[in-house]
C-alpha cells in the first residue's frame, strides 16, 4: 500500500513545490473514482489495448471477410447503402480449415514439435540453471552473462550459423570424416532433427532465466535438513528441489513452448520440405494464395489452440495455491 495518491498527500514540503493545478486535477480524478494507482496500471493497460488487443481485433475482422483482387485484398465487412448498414460475415473461412486435413495436421505437428523441443530444452536448461543458482555470487553473474550473450548477435545470423554446422560438407561432417568415424556425410540439415536443434538452441535462455530466478531463491537449509534426515541427493532433488521449482518450470516451458508452436524462421531455414508447421501454412496462405481472410482464420485458431492449455494450467495452478494457502 505504498502507492499513496498524490492528491491525498499531506506533506506540505513536497506539495508546495507543485503547481496548484496538478493538485486540482488529482483531486478531480480521485473524486471521479480514479486513484493514482489505477492511473499507473492504466499505462500498461492502454499499451496492451493499442498493441495487442486492437491488432488482434483487426485480424479477427479480416478472418470474417472474403478474399478479393483489390487493395487491401479482401472485401469490407460492412457497407452503408441507402440508409442500411449491410454486414457480411463470412464464417466459411473457419469451416474451410476443417474441410482440409492439412490444417489440423499442421496444428498437431506444430504442437508436437514444440512440445518435444520444450522437453529437451527443460532437460538441458534445468541442470544449467541449477548450476548457476548454486555457484558463488561472483561467478553467477558471469554465467548469467554468458547465457544472455548470444542475444547480442542477430537471431537470424545464429540460425544461419547452424546451417554451416549441419550441412553435408559443414563443420560437423568434415570433422567426423577427417577422424574417419564416418565415410559418408550424415544428413542433418533439412530434417526435423535440425529443427529441434534450432529451437532448443534459440530458446534455451528463455528456459534458463525463469528457472534460475526460481532456484536461486530456494532455501539451502531445506536441502541440509533433507540430508540430515538421511535422504540421498537424488531423493532430495525429487522430493524437495523439484516440487519447489515447479513454478519456474512452468514459466520456462511456457516461454519456450508458445513461441515455438508458431515458429516460422527455424523450420523454413533448417527444416526439410516435409516439415509441416503452422507458421509455414500461414505464410503460404498469406503470400502464395494472397488469401488474407484464411490466413487470419488460421492465426485466430492458433491463438485458441495455445490459449486453452494455458487457461487450463492457470486453473490448476490457482487450485494448487488454494490448497497450499
Taking each helix axis from N to C end, the angle separating 292-324 and 54-63, rounded to the nearest 10 degrees, works out to: 130
Q: Which is nearer to other proteins, 156 or 308 (CB)?
A: 156
| Residue 156 near other proteins by CB under 8 A | no
> Binder to other proteins among 23, 61, 140, 290 (CB under 8 A)?
290
Residue 183 within binding range of other proteins, rule CB under 8 A: no
70 binding other proteins? (CB under 8 A) = yes
Our finding on whether 190 is near other proteins (CB under 8 A) is yes
Instruction: List, in order, residues 6 or more apart from 143 with CB less than 8 Å away.
Output: 131, 132, 135
Please, what is the end-to-end C-alpha distance for the chain in angstroms? Answer: 22
- 39 phi, psi to nearest 5 deg: -65, -40
Is 161 a binding residue for other proteins by CB under 8 A? The answer is no
Applying CB under 8 A, does 101 fall inside the site for other proteins?
A: yes
Nearer to other proteins by Cβ, of 82 and 274: the residue is 274
Q: Is 236 in the site for other proteins (CB under 8 A)?
A: no
61 touches other proteins (CB under 8 A): no
Nearest one of 309, 200, 325 to 254, comparing CA atoms: 309
Least Å from the CB of residue 185 to other proteins: 10
C-alpha cell at 276: 509441416
Q: Which of 2, 81, 154, 169 binds other proteins (CB under 8 A)?
A: 169
d(CA 270, CA 158): 12
Residues 6+ apart with CB under 8 A from 299: 59, 63, 282
DSSP state at residue 67: B
Is 69 a binder of other proteins (CB under 8 A)?
yes
Strands (DSSP E) contained in 46-153 are 78-81, 84-87
Is 6 a binding residue for other proteins by CB under 8 A? The answer is: no
DSSP 3-state of 78: strand
* Near other proteins by CB under 8 A: residue from 89, 287, 307, 311: 287
Strand partners, 81: 84
Q: Does 288 bind other proteins (CB under 8 A)?
A: yes
Strand partners, 79: 86
160 binds other proteins (CB under 8 A): no
* Nearest CB to other proteins, comparing residues 2 and 169: 169
CA distances from 138 to 132, 145, 165, 166, 246 (A): 11, 11, 33, 36, 26
Nearer to other proteins, 248 or 271 (CB): 271
Is the CB of 276 or the CB of 300 nearer to other proteins? 276
DSSP code of residue 241: I
- Give the nearest distance from C-beta 278 to other proteins in angstroms: 12
Identify which of residues 151 and 160 has a Cβ nearer to other proteins in the complex: 160
Q: Measured from the CB atom, is 62 or 249 closer to other proteins?
A: 62
Is residue 192 part of the contact set for other proteins (CB under 8 A)?
no
* Binding stretches for other proteins (CB under 8 A): 67, 69-73, 100-102, 105-106, 167-169, 190, 272-276, 281, 284, 286-291
Amino acid at each position: 500500500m505504498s502507492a499513496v495518491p498524490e492528491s491525498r498527500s499531506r506533506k506540505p514540503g513536497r506539495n508546495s513545490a507543485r503547481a496548484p493545478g496538478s493538485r486540482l486535477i488529482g483531486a478531480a480524478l480521485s473524486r471521479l473514482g480514479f486513484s493514482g494507482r489505477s492511473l499507473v496500471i492504466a499505462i500498461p493497460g492502454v499499451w496492451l489495448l493499442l498493441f495487442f488487443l486492437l491488432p488482434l481485433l483487426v485480424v479477427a475482422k479480416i478472418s470474417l471477410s472474403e478474399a478479393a483482387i483489390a487493395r487491401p485484398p479482401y472485401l469490407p465487412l460492412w457497407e452503408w447503402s441507402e440508409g442500411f448498414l449491410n454486414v457480411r460475415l463470412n464464417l466459411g473461412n473457419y469451416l474451410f480449415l476443417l474441410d482440409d486435413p492439412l490444417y489440423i495436421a499442421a496444428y498437431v505437428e506444430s504442437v508436437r514439435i514444440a512440445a518435444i523441443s520444450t522437453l529437451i530444452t527443460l532437460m538441458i536448461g534445468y541442470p544449467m540453471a541449477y548450476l548457476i543458482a548454486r555457484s558463488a555470487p561472483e561467478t553467477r553473474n558471469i554465467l548469467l552473462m554468458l547465457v544472455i550473450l548470444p542475444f547480442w548477435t542477430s537471431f537470424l545470423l545464429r540460425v544461419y550459423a547452424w546451417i554451416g554446422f549441419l550441412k553435408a560438407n559443414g563443420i560437423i561432417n568434415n570433422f567426423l570424416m577427417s577422424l574417419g568415424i564416418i565415410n559418408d556425410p550424415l544428413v542433418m540439415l533439412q530434417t526435423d532433427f535440425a529443427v529441434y536443434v534450432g529451437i532448443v538452441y534459440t530458446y534455451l535462455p528463455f528456459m534458463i532465466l525463469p528457472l534460475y530466478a526460481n532456484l536461486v531463491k530456494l532455501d539451502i537449509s531445506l536441502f541440509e535438513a533433507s540430508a540430515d534426515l538421511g535422504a540421498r541427493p537424488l531423493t532430495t532433488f525429487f522430493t524437495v528441489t523439484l516440487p519447489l521449482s515447479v513454478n519456474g518450470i512452468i514459466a520456462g516451458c511456457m516461454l519456450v513452448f508458445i513461441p515455438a508452436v508458431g515458429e516460422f524462421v527455424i523450420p523454413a531455414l533448417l527444416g526439410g520440405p516435409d516439415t509441416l508447421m503452422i507458421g509455414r501454412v500461414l505464410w503460404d496462405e498469406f503470400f502464395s494464395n494472397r488469401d488474407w481472410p484464411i490466413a487470419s482464420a488460421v492465426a485466430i485458431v492458433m491463438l485458441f489452440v495455445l490459449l486453452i492449455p494455458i487457461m487450463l494450467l492457470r486453473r490448476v495452478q490457482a487450485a494448487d495455491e488454494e490448497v497450499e494457502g
